[in-house]
Amino acid sequence: EIVLTQSPGTLSLSPGERATLSCRASQSVPSSYLAWYQQKPGQTPRLLIYGASSRATGIPDRFSGSGSGTDFTLTISRLEPEDFAVYYCQQYGASPPLFTFGPGTKIDIK
């Protein structure tokens, strides 16, 4: 079973700053199977990125995903007030089918 580790646990930044979030897998993950989600307090999760680097419908271009193998990154180029939230990475293992979420990274206002 692949375990996802996200770092840092909490990121304290100011609006306008760049955020770089890391997701590390215990084994290699096909890029096609790596996704990122945002969850604001009291809200449901929202798909941001799928296939490691493709933005989901309606996601602003300040969000970008990259990486391969065991190391993946979500970058928010310039933080907007609405971006302060928890971000989760998620991977899929096909044999047997198993979906795993990372523990999350919280971005809070510095």
Residues that bind another protein (CB under 8 A): 30, 32-33, 35, 37, 39, 44-47, 49-51, 56-57, 86, 88, 90-94, 96-104
Measure the CA–CA gap between 65 and 17, rounded to whole angstroms: 17
Strands 10-13 and 105-109: parallel
CA–CA separation, 72 vs 65, rounded Å? 7
Cβ pair 23, 80 in contact under 8 A: no
In terms of CB distance, is 22 or 92 closer to another protein? 92
* Closest distance of CB 16 from another protein, Å: 28
Q: Which is nearer to another protein, 17 or 93 (CB)?
A: 93
Nearest approach, Cβ of residue 13 and another protein (Å): 20
| Distance separating alpha carbons of residues 59 and 43, to the nearest angstrom | 16
Q: Does residue 92 contact residue 98 with C-beta atoms inside 8 Å? A: yes
Nearer to another protein (CB atom), residue 15 or residue 75:
75
Smallest distance, another protein to C-beta of residue 46, A: 7
* Nearer CB in complex with another protein: 19/34: 34
Both ends of the chain: CA-CA distance in Å?
36
Please state the closest distance from residue 94 (CB atom) to another protein, in A. Answer: 5
